């Protein structure tokens, strides 16, 4: 884990904590395998490529990279002949699942303890209906969050372009400054940096076990 606080914000004045969903509220040792299988199936379903060609595309474009180095399929698919609109439509009814029986999840008591002192928001680029499905399978109580920011199947095409736009809207909705906001996620560039650009701080974690640890270590939990 690594804390990013380049603006030297006073973390004792935090009022709002933002969570990513995938690989933050839950983590699985086999998630990468499931993700790669999902991407391979998407390439095969949306093109005339063979399985061998699909695997080569995945390696060449970085879809087999993990964590911070993982690249966006939607930002790269047109480079190998799959239209972005086709991918957007595909995502409405397809998403990568995990081994639900071999997955660690965020401790609900930790979230409830936070809720006594802070506003909590969940921010994800994943389709909301998919988040709800996974959360149900993993027994993650989404009702603890004050608000969830994620595209739905109906508004996905008109949703915010990136997390910095989401964070800006979120801060306005809660009437809270970036300096009073802290984000927890597994990818620096995707989850943490957008809030830092606005003046906030955050922590990059590697698994859900680190969430409670970092919250206590940085005096987020009072």
> For the segment 162-191, what is each residue's pLDDT rounded down to a tens digit?
899 999 999 999 999 999 999 999 999 999
The pTM of this model reads 0.91
Band (19; pLDDT cuts 50, 70, 90):
very high
What does DSSP say about strands 119-123 and 16-19: parallel, antiparallel, or unpaired? parallel
At residue 82 the predicted structure's pLDDT band, cuts being 50, 70 and 90, is very high
Q: Are 121 and 16 in contact (CB under 8 A)?
A: yes
Please say if the pLDDT value at position 16 is more than 90: yes
**139 domain residue, yes or no:** yes
Q: 116 and 7: one domain?
A: yes
1: exposed, middle or buried (Cβ count in 10 Å: 0-12, 13-18, 19+): middle
Asked if residue 115 and residue 10 are part of one domain, the reply reads: yes
Domain that holds residue 76: 31-91
Helix (H, G, I), strand (E, B) or coil at 178: helix
Torsion of CA 137, 182, 210, 113, to 10 degrees: -70
Helix (H) or strand (E) holding 4: strand 2-4
Residues 17 and 58 in one domain: no
Q: What is the tens place of the pLDDT at every residue in 35-73? A: 999 999 999 999 999 999 999 999 999 999 877 777 889
Q: Are residues 24 and 86 in the same domain?
A: no
Which of 91, 124, 139 is where one domain is finished?
91
Which residues are CB-neighbours of 52 under 8 A, at least 6 positions away? none
């Amino acid at each position: 884990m690594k804390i990013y606080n380049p603006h030297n914000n006073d973390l004792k004045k935090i009022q709002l904590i933002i969570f990513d969903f995938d690989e933050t509220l839950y983590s699985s040792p086999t998630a990468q395998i499931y993700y790669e299988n999902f991407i391979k199936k998407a390439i095969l379903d949306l093109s005339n490529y063979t399985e061998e060609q699909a695997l080569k595309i995945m390696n060449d474009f970085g879809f087999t990279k993990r964590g911070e180095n993982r690249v966006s399929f939607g930002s790269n698919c047109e480079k190998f002949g799959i239209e972005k609109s086709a991918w957007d439509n595909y995502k409405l009814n397809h998403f990568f699942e995990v081994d639900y029986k071999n997955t660690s999840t965020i401790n609900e008591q930790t979230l409830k303890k936070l809720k006594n002192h802070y506003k909590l928001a969940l921010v994800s680029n994943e389709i909301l209906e998919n988040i709800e499905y996974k959360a149900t399978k993993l027994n993650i109580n989404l009702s603890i969050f004050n608000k969830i920011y994620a595209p739905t199947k109906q508004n996905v095409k008109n949703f915010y372009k990136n997390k910095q736009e989401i964070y800006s809207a979120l801060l306005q909705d809660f009437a809270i400054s970036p300096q009073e906001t802290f984000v927890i996620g597994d990818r620096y560039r995707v989850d943490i940096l957008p809030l830092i650009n606005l003046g906030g701080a955050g922590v990059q974690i590697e698994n859900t076990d680190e969430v409670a640890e970092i919250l206590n270590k940085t005096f987020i939990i009072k």
